[in-house]
C-alpha cells in the first residue's frame, strides 16, 4: 500500500474514534434518561462514569489503531504507546475524580439530610484523586516521582507560607462541616447581625442566604470565630413572644382565657404555627397605662414568626373589641407648680416701684 492511502486511512480511523465516542455518550444519556428516579444512586454514578470515559476511550483507541498501521506516521511505536497510555490514565483519573466527588457529596447529603450542595468535601476529594492519578501516570511512563515529591514538599511549604489566609479559610471550612455545628439548610444568626440559611460551605467562604434572597459571603475563618445562634438546633420550632397590655379595670382571668383561645385558633389555623404546642400568658408589669403581659406562641421555623405574630395581633385586636376588653392608650399625667411672679426671685433693691 502506498503512503498516501495509508495516511488517509490513518486520518479516517483517527476521526472515527471521536465520532464513536459521541455516539456512545448519546446512547448512555438515553439509557440514563430511561432509568427511574427511584433507582439507586449507584446506577446514576455508573452512567456518569461511563459517559465520562466514552469519549476519551474511543478517541484514544482510534488513535492507537491509526498509529499502529505499518508505514503510517514517522513516530516511534514505543513513544506512541507511552503517550497514549499516559493520556488514557489521565482521562480515567479525571473520571474517577468526578465519581469520587459525587460519592462524597451523596454520602454527606445522606448523613446530614440536607439537599443543598456541600462543595468543600467534593472539591478536596476531586483534587486529591486527580493529584494521585497524575503521580501514578508519571511513574508508569518512567518519570521518577521521588525527586518530584521532594520538590513538591518544599514548594508546598512555600505556598503554605504565601497562602496562609487561604489555607486558614480552607481548614476552617473543614472544621465547620466536621464539627456539625451548622449544616447547609440551617438558619443561623451571627453576632455581627447577619441572618439567613447556610447555602454552601466551600474551600474559602461560607454562603448565607438571607430572608430577602440575597447571598451573604463570609470567610470561613471569620465564620468559625463568630458567636452564632443556630435556630435549627436542636429543633427547628421556636418560641415567639408578643407583648400585650390591658387596662387596670380588666378581669385578668377573663383576659387570659380570651387571649389563650385566640392564640390557639391562630396557631392551628396557620401552617406556620405549631399546632401541637400550647400558648402561654404571663403577666409581668404594672405599667404606666395598664397591666402588661407576654403571650408565648410557637412557630415551626424562624422565618415564619413574622406571619404568625401579624395574624395573632389582628385576631387579638378584633376579639378584644368584640369582648369589650380595653387596650389602654399611653397616658402621662403632668403636674405644674402654681404661677409665681418672676419678680419675687429678685432682690428687693431691684424691684421697680
Query: Does residue 319 register a pLDDT over 90?
Result: yes
116 band by pLDDT with thresholds 50, 70 and 90: very low
For 148-164, how does the pLDDT look when each residue is reduced to its tens digit (9 = 90+)? 666 666 666 666 565 56
Query: If one looks up domain 177-230 in CATH, what number appears?
Result: 2.30.30.60
Start-to-end Cα distance in the chain: 143
pLDDT of residue 65: 74
Query: Of 33, 98, 19, 102, whose CA–CA distance to 61 is shortest?
Result: 19
Predicted TM-score of the model (pTM): 0.50
Enclosing H/E stretch for 286: strand 280-286
Contact predicate 228/208, CB 8 Å: no
Contact predicate 122/102, CB 8 Å: yes
- For the beta sheet containing 195-201, the strands, ordered from the edge strand earlier in sequence to the opposite edge, are 215-219, 205-209, 195-201, 187-190, 228-230
Of 126-130, 132-136, 142-146, 260-264, where does mean pLDDT reach its minimum? 142-146
DSSP state of 288: S
Q: Where are the domains of the chain?
A: 3-168, 177-230, 238-323
pLDDT of residue 145: 67
What's the rounded Cα separation, in Å, for the pair 187 and 230?
A: 6
Of 165-169, 245-249, 322-326, where does mean pLDDT reach its minimum? 165-169
The yes-or-no answer to whether 177-230 and 238-323 have a common fold is: no
What's the rounded Cα separation, in Å, for the pair 34 and 31?
A: 5
Contact predicate 72/7, CB 8 Å: yes
Query: Does residue 114 register a pLDDT over 50?
Result: no
CATH topology of domain 238-323: Alpha-Beta Plaits (3.30.70)
Average pLDDT, the chain: 77
Distance set, CA 17 to CA 10, 66, 79 (Å)? 11, 10, 20
**Contact partners, residue 108, CB within 8 Å, separation at least 6:** 118, 121, 177
For 51-90, how does the pLDDT look when each residue is reduced to its tens digit (9 = 90+)? 777 787 787 777 777 766 665 555 556 666 777 777 888 8
Q: Which one has a higher pLDDT value, 290 or 352?
A: 290
Number of neighbours of residue 227 by Cβ within 10 angstroms: 8
Amino acid at each position: 500500500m502506498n503512503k498516501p492511502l495509508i495516511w488517509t486511512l490513518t486520518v479516517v480511523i483517527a476521526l472515527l474514534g471521536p465520532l464513536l465516542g459521541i455516539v456512545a455518550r448519546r446512547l448512555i444519556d438515553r439509557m440514563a434518561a430511561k432509568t427511574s428516579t427511584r433507582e439507586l444512586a449507584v446506577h446514576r454514578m455508573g452512567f456518569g462514569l461511563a459517559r465520562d470515559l466514552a469519549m476519551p476511550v474511543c478517541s484514544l483507541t482510534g488513535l492507537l489503531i491509526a498509529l499502529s498501521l505499518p508505514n503510517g506516521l514517522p513516530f516511534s511505536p514505543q513513544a506512541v504507546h507511552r503517550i497514549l497510555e499516559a493520556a488514557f490514565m489521565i482521562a480515567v483519573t479525571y473520571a474517577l475524580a468526578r465519581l469520587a466527588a459525587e460519592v462524597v457529596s451523596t454520602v454527606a447529603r445522606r448523613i446530614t439530610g440536607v439537599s443543598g450542595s456541600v462543595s468543600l468535601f467534593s472539591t478536596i476529594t476531586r483534587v486529591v484523586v486527580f493529584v494521585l492519578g497524575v503521580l501514578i501516570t508519571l511513574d508508569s511512563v518512567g518519570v521518577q516521582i521521588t525527586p518530584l515529591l521532594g520538590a513538591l514538599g518544599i514548594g508546598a511549604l512555600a505556598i503554605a507560607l504565601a497562602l496562609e489566609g487561604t489555607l486558614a479559610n480552607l481548614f476552617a471550612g473543614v472544621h465547620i462541616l466536621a464539627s456539625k455545628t451548622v449544616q447547609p439548610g440551617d438558619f443561623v444568626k451571627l453576632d455581627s447581625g447577619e441572618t439567613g440559611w447556610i447555602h454552601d460551605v466551600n474551600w474559602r467562604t461560607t454562603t448565607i442566604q438571607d430572608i430577602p434572597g440575597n447571598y451573604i459571603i463570609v470567610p470561613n475563618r471569620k465564620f468559625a470565630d463568630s458567636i452564632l445562634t443556630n435556630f435549627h438546633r436542636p429543633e427547628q420550632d421556636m418560641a415567639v413572644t408578643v407583648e400585650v397590655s390591658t387596662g387596670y379595670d380588666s378581669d385578668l382571668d377573663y383576659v387570659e382565657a380570651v387571649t389563650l383561645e385566640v392564640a390557639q385558633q391562630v396557631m392551628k389555623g396557620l401552617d406556620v404555627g405549631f399546632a401541637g404546642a400550647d400558648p402561654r400568658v404571663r403577666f409581668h408589669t404594672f405599667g404606666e397605662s395598664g397591666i402588661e403581659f407576654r403571650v408565648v406562641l410557637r412557630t415551626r421555623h424562624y422565618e415564619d414568626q413574622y406571619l404568625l405574630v401579624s395574624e395573632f395581633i389582628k385576631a387579638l385586636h378584633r376579639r378584644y373589641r368584640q369582648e369589650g376588653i380595653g387596650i389602654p392608650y399611653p397616658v402621662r399625667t403632668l403636674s405644674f407648680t402654681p404661677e409665681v411672679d418672676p419678680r419675687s426671685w429678685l432682690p428687693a433693691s431691684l424691684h421697680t416701684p
